[in-house]
């Protein structure tokens, strides 16, 4: 009754995430599973498909015990939704495979009743330009049967095309030429280009904070909350591997995974520091000019997040604790003696973690730093309640077909170089 380790690990993580409200990222990086990207991708796809999986399982076609209910979701996803063979003698695998025709009929009902997957964002895939050129990757995809849609000159037109993508079509992103956009059902976690680090499954929202920081080749950069490393490796690509990126994460386990991921992407200008950013002595890094601060947040902007329901008081208390931490870590970034540009970002929609954090920090550093307009071509801006709101960038699933985010860019008013 052997079950592949991938399924066992993934089902245990989903159970803890759902029942104990433990962070999905923490569970993944503490799992000691060898292929973190494969594990993350499978969990991501199963969570995204929860609506359909719930509908099929609710039919009771296959008997599932309480102990098996999480494992069943992964077997069902691969066997029924993706049509894959699962190499296991587990009775549940045999039962699902035997009932595949009936289960597939139930799956068809999801489309008829418009039972959708969680979230409405498309699948984004970033071309790792440290390993391949965008045109090379596009040609590979086209040779596999993918159809490239023509470039659209207006943002609204682009969004309309993305909403209408079929499952064999893709388009180059409107803002980022190295980001490819696919139908939300696209599953790349077994694709050779992903396994080799040529393309990275990175949401557009996750890319834009690195773009806002905009370090030039040869820059000295700190990524203050670096794991899992998507933003870090994009910074390395933007800098063409010239300069230095100090990738900081306080968790030893996450730092080890971060190191492996950075190496797999060819990001040779990155050095890993397994340490709490708040404990780093700024005077030990006099050459740092750019800092990216993307701290832990509520994740309220993430379209496919599960277990994000809280009571009102619990929510207020959680946001208060998070915003205090976010202000603290952002203020620490400003204490580096020669930093000239700091970008603060979250994947939260709450102003308590966004504009109110910026307002609090400006009270402390406003004499030395100011908010600078960022991502000027991005249409959705910060809250008009704040004088600096129009200089910040926001996004949501509804308006931009990306996970929700907030970005604020600070620049030093005067820099006294020694």
- The DSSP bridge pattern shows strands 290-293 and 341-346 to be parallel
| Distance, CA of 144 to CA of 135 (rounded, Å) | 14
**Catalytic member of 207, 257, 297, 347:** 347
The three-state secondary structure class of 286 is coil
Q: Label residues 171-190 b or e (16+ Cβ within 10 Å = b).
A: bbbbbbebbbbbebbbbbbe
Instruction: Judge whether 400 is annotated as a binding position.
Output: no
Given a contact cutoff of 8 angstroms between Cβ atoms, the answer to whether 401 and 381 are in contact is no
Q: Is residue 110 flagged as an active site residue?
A: no
- Residue 244 phi, psi (nearest 5): -150, 130
In the numeric block, which tokens belong to residue 297? 């947040």
| Distance, CA of 33 to CA of 39 (rounded, Å) | 8
Q: What is the DSSP letter of 34?
A: S
Alpha-carbon distances, residue 412 vs 289, 342, 365 (angstroms): 10, 9, 9
CA angle 307, 313, 314 (to 5 degrees): 35
Given a contact cutoff of 8 angstroms between Cβ atoms, the answer to whether 214 and 297 are in contact is no
Measured over the CA atoms of residue 196, residue 199, residue 201 and residue 206, the dihedral's sign is positive
Non-local (6+) Cβ contacts of 164 within 8 A are: none
Instruction: Judge whether 117 is annotated as a binding position.
Output: no
Q: Which residues are catalytic?
A: 347
For the annotated binding site for S-adenosyl-L-methionine, the residues are 249, 276, 294
Binding site, by residue number, is 249, 276, 294
């Amino acid at each position: 009754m052997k079950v592949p380790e991938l399924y066992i690990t993934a089902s245990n993580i989903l159970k803890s995430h759902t029942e104990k409200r433990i962070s999905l990222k923490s569970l993944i990086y503490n799992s000691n599973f060898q292929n973190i990207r494969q594990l993350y991708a499978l969990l991501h796809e199963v969570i995204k498909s929860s609506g359909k999986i719930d509908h099929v399982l609710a039919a009771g076609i296959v008997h599932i015990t309480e102990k098996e209910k999480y494992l069943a979701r992964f077997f069902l996803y691969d066997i029924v939704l993706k049509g894959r063979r699962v190499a296991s003698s587990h009775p549940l695998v045999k039962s699902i495979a035997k009932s595949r025709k009936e289960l597939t009929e139930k799956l068809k009902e999801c489309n008829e009743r418009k039972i959708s997957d969680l979230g409405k964002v498309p699948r984004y895939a970033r071309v790792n330009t440290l390993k391949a050129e965008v045109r090379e990757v596009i040609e590979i995809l086209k040779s596999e049967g993918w159809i490239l849609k023509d470039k659209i000159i207006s943002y609204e037109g682009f969004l309309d095309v993305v909403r209408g993508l079929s499952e064999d079509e893709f388009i180059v992103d409107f803002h980022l030429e190295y980001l490819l956009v696919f139908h939300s059902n696209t599953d790349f976690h077994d694709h050779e280009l992903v396994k080799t680090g040529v393309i990275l499954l990175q949401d557009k929202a996750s890319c834009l904070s690195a773009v806002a920081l905009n370090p030039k080749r040869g820059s000295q950069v700190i990524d203050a909350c670096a794991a899992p490393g998507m933003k870090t490796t994009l910074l390395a690509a933007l800098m063409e591997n010239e300069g230095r990126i100090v990738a900081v994460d306080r968790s030893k386990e996450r730092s080890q995974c971060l190191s492996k991921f950075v190496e797999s992407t060819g990001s040779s200008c990155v050095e890993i520091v397994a340490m709490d950013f708040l404990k780093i002595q700024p005077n030990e890094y006099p050459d740092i000019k750019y800092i990216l601060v993307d701290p832990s947040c509520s994740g309220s902007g993430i379209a496919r997040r599960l277990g994000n329901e809280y009571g009102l008081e619990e929510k207020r208390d959680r946001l208060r604790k998070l915003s205090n931490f976010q202000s603290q870590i952002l203020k620490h970034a400003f204490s580096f003696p020669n930093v000239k540009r700091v970008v603060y970002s979250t994947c939260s929609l709450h102003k308590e973690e966004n504009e109110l954090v910026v307002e609090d920090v400006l009270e402390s550093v406003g004499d030395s730093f100011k908010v600078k307009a960022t991502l000027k071509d991005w249409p959705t801006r910060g809250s008009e309640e704040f004088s600096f709101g129009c200089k910040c960038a926001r996004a949501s699933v509804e308006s931009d077909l990306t996970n929700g985010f907030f970005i604020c860019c600070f620049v030093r008013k005067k820099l006294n170089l020694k």
